[in-house]
Amino acid sequence: MKKKEKTAKVQEKKQVGLLDVIKYPIVTEKSTNLSAHNQVVFAVCKTATKPEIKSAIEQIFGVSVKAVNTLVRKGKEKRFKGRAGIQEDVKRAIITLNDGQQLDLGSGI
């Protein structure tokens, strides 16, 4: 395989990886209140690191990110029709945007 073909395949993997890092936006009352502080909340891949999340947000949405804070919400134990089950863990990223930057998630609604 030639060097150009290898770099093209690596770039394709990175592009797919960007879309796999960010799953969906979290739209709750608390996350909506954070928009007043120039912050947005996303569910992200469990294995994603802060630098990966930052670069994915900057490349997908075209905004500059000031900081990334992450947390893992542990899955709850629930019962459904008498059977016990466990919801899966969810990793969330709180993205703080630089001053003057804005990311409107509700524009398509």
Q: Give me the pLDDT at residue 42, please.
A: 95
How many Cβ atoms are within 10 Å of 4's Cβ, its own excluded?
8
H/E stretch holding 29 reads helix 29-34
- pTM for this entry: 0.76
Per the model's pLDDT, the better-predicted residue between 67 and 12 turns out to be 67
Mean pLDDT of the chain: 85
pLDDT tens track for 52-88: 999 999 999 999 999 999 999 999 999 999 999 998 9
What is the rounded end-to-end Cα distance, in angstroms, of the chain? 46
Q: Give me the pLDDT at residue 5, please.
A: 58
Does domain 3-97 fall under CATH 1.10.3470.10? My reply is no
Band the pLDDT of 4: cuts 50, 70, 90. low
